Every structure is written in C-alpha cells, then in structure tokens.
C-alpha cells in the first residue's frame, strides 16, 4: 500500500514545490511507482513536471469537486517519470466549493483509496497556507515532510507549524505523523544557517533529516526547463541531494521509525 506524504509549510519560499518535484522524481528513479498530487493553485509542481498547466484536461479540482476518479485525472507523461494530478488556477475555486461539500475535509483521502494499492509513494504538494486544500492533504496523508530554511525565524515558525499539525491531526487524522524536517537552500558558509541547523537538531532530534538540500543554481534553473534537477543536470549537487533524501526516506520506511506528531 502506498505511503502518502504531504509536503507542507505555511511559510512560502522554503523549497516546498522544489522538494515535491525532486523527491518524486528521485523516488521514481529507484523504480518505485510514484504519484505526485499538485494542490497548489499556482501549479508550479505541474509546470516543474514538464506539464503545461494551461493545457491539462483535468486537475485536482475535478478530483475534489466533480467526483472524477483518480484514474480519470492522472497525467502519465511527465518529465520526472512519475504520475501527476495537475493543478492550475481552477484549484482556487476548489477551496470555495469545498465549503459546500459533504465530508469536505476527507474528499482527497476517499478519492485515493482506489489507487493506494497501486503506488508505492504518493506525494502531495500543499499550498503555502492553511486552508481546506491543505486540510484535505493532511487528512489523506500518513505523514508530513516539512521543508524549511535555516534562517532567523525558522525555529519559531516550525514550532508553531508543529502545533498546528498536532491540532489538525487530532481532528481529521489521528494517525498523522511527522515524516521529517528537511533543511533546504542550505549554505554551510553561513554562520546563522549553521547555528539554526544545530538548534533544529537539538529541538527536533531524529525528526531532522540528515540529508541537507544546498543552495544550487541548477536546482533553481530546472523548473524553467520543466524538469526535475536529476533530468536537467544529474551531476548537480541539488540532484544528488534529493537522491540521497529518497534513500533516507526509504531507510526510515524500512525501519518504521516515524515519530508521532504529538511528540513535537
């Protein structure tokens, strides 16, 4: 059965979509069957997968609001060699229309039941805000991967996010766990980044991935070419880092070492 991982952070600009696209591609490269769900109306994960968000026939809107099946909305031909449920501006309307729906918090979870036995991993790229789309993602997920930069307000923001996750979990998904905290855009020459990194490890312990995603030009350029970093420049430090992250996720899964959200 697929492991469903929501990639979420209420703060924008932390590498959330970059992580979603690249970890999905890296996991697919290990011969796992992977589905990436774009729930962000900006559609950046869709474009970063080599799919034109303006040309797709169906998106996560049709899945959540029009009761189309997962099979009917999946895009198979992506640059990352994973399956995709796309997003574009239409998904903005989904948040409003979800208010009118029965069981509005669990529509994504219910929709995914039909394909959980087919995939090994399902990654969900969440919007950079706490709305009904994000709530649907957290209700559907087994765990949450939190990307974050090592900057001044990071620790305080992460603590608040963990508290929000815990409160949400108690309402919509008591089994929700923290998959891990991922340090992104990391520059080891920056003293503040190193200080915050050490604070993170002291405060969150094994929840912090050993893998660190560096600041990397190739990683930043790849989305404009509609490809994950490993297919844009497989020798780049960014591509190698996400392959290492996929390996770490697999090892953690094998050890079943996820930590409950309440532990934060």
In angstroms, the CA 57 to CA 74 distance is 10
Tokens 């049709």 correspond to what residue? 62
- Tell me the per-residue pLDDT of 147-163, one tens digit each, with 9 for 90 and over: 998 887 777 778 888 88
For 255, the token pair is 């050890």
Indicate the pTM of the whole model.
0.93
Domains, the chain, ranges and CATH? 3-256 (3.40.50.300)
Residue 264 has a pLDDT of 39
14 DSSP β-pair partners: none
Tell me the mean pLDDT in the region 59-66. Answer: 96
Tell me the mean pLDDT in the region 48-72. Answer: 96
From residue 12, alpha-carbon distances to 29, 51, 130, 168, 206 in Å are 28, 22, 11, 20, 24
In this predicted structure, the answer to whether residue 17 has a pLDDT above a threshold of 50 is yes
**Residues above pLDDT 70, as percent of the chain:** 97
- Tell me the per-residue pLDDT of 95-113, one tens digit each, with 9 for 90 and over: 899 988 888 999 999 999 9
Residue 221 has a pLDDT of 96
In angstroms, the CA 50 to CA 21 distance is 10
Rg (CA), the chain: 17
| Spatial contact of 147 and 16, defined as CB atoms under 8 Å apart | yes
Residue 256 banded pLDDT, cuts 50, 70, 90: low
- Tell me the per-residue pLDDT of 189-247, one tens digit each, with 9 for 90 and over: 888 889 989 988 988 899 999 999 999 999 999 999 999 999 999 999 999 999 999 99
């Amino acid at each position: 059965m697929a492991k469903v991982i929501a990639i979420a952070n209420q703060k924008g600009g932390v590498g959330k979509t970059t992580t979603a696209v690249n970890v999905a591609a890296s996991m697919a490269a290990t011969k796992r069957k992977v589905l990436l769900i774009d729930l962000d109306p900006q559609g950046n994960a869709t474009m970063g997968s080599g799919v034109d968000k303006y040309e797709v026939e169906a998106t996560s809107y049709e899945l959540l609001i029009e009761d189309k099946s997962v099979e009917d909305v999946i895009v198979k031909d992506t640059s990352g060699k994973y399956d995709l449920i796309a997003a574009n501006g239409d998904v903005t309307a989904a948040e409003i229309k979800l208010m009118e729906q029965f069981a509005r918090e669990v529509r994504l979870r219910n929709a995914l039941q039909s394909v959980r036995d087919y995939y090994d991993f399902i990654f969900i790229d969440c919007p950079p805000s706490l709305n009904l789309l994000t709530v649907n993602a957290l209700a559907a997920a087994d765990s949450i991967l939190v990307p974050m930069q090592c900057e001044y307000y990071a620790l305080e923001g992460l603590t608040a996010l963990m508290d929000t996750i815990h409160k949400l979990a108690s309402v919509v998904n008591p089994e929700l766990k923290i998959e891990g905290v991922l340090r992104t855009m990391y520059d080891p020459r920056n003293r503040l980044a190193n200080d915050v990194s050490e604070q993170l490890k002291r405060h969150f312990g094994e929840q912090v991935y050993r893998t660190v995603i560096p600041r990397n030009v190739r990683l930043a350029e790849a989305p404009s070419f509609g490809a994950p970093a490993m297919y844009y420049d497989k020798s780049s430090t960014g591509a190698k880092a996400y392959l290492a992250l996929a390996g770490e996720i697999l090892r953690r899964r094998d050890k079943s070492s996820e930590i409950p959200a309440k532990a934060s």
